[in-house]
Amino acid sequence: MKQKSDNIFRKFNSLFTGIAILLGIVILGSCSKSDNDSIIRDGVNIQVWEALSQNPHEVQLKIETCEMYNCLNFGINYELKKTSSNKFKVELTSVQIEEICEAGSGPARTVISLGNLNPGDYTIAFIVNDNDYDLKLNISDSRIKLDFANEPEGNDIHLALNELQRIPAQTLWGSVSVSQSANIPLFEDFFMSLNEMDVNDFTGVDGNYGYFIKSNNLITNVDQTGAIETRSFLKSFSGNPEQIINLETIFKDSMSVNWYYYDGEVLYY
């Protein structure tokens, strides 16, 4: 009798184990990736950047996940250590999930500031998903360049913008736009007045300056919202800010001008 009971128990136990395994397969098969998954998947895009301010400009790394999320305000958690005067260690640990979701679709983002760095060569030990990458950072007075120190074995890091021209002191740039076709002839008057200020032609090389892109004396990445025609300007300005205010006063009723200055000052009129 006991042997028969043991056989029945073993059969029941086997049946229960089989059902449990089957249920496990069904449950796992029905799971989908959650929007609240904090694992960094598909790697990250990195842009080298320079923050403009009246203090010495800081070198930064702008980082975005390749994966898109259903919230616009997700961040990236990280740890930053400066291990010596010219060596950094950066580890991206997880996606920062916010309890309140800003509606929209976009990557998780963060900005890592490396500080005010003197011209020279630096190395960054970069860790993503427990994978190590060695990056080299070269800084000169005119350029910032980020590259792999050696051929990467993984694909967690993508250098979306690895070379940035530095904006020289006294650089003034922006855009002027009109919303009515009758005011288009005023462009000539505006630029004539602008050139009568204490300005000189911008002598920087062609390239990506982050805040604008210069190519053949033309610049892009300027605001053009709500205008029927917009034109840009790029100058070296050594005058008094009152000159800008006076010029703005003349044209404020017929044109919209956005001014940007190398020290981070942004003037909207």
pLDDT in tens, 124-165: 999 999 999 999 999 999 999 999 999 888 889 999 999 999
Prediction pTM value: 0.79
In this predicted structure, what is the pLDDT of residue 33? 39
| Amino acid occupying residue 207 | G
Q: Are strands 58-71 and 103-115 parallel, antiparallel or unpaired?
A: antiparallel
- Return d(Cα 27, Cα 56) in angstroms, integer: 56
Among residues 71, 73, 70, 78, the alpha carbon closest in space to that of 40 is found at 78
pLDDT at 36: 54
Give pLDDT, residue 37.
Answer: 66
Q: How many CB atoms lie within 10 A of CB 242?
A: 8
Put residue 116 in one of left, alpha, beta given phi > 0 → left and psi -120 to 50 → alpha: beta
Cα dihedral 53, 139, 206, 62 in deg (nearest 10): -60
Is residue 107's pLDDT more than 90?
yes
Residue 268's closest CA among 216, 229, 218, 223? 223
User: Would the pLDDT of 23 be above 90?
Assistant: no
Alpha-carbon gap, residue 174 to 191, rounded angstroms: 12
Percent of the chain with pLDDT over 70: 83
Residue 18, classified by CB atoms within 10 Å of its CB into exposed (0-12), middle (13-18) or buried (19+), is exposed
How large a percentage of the chain has pLDDT more than 90?
Answer: 63
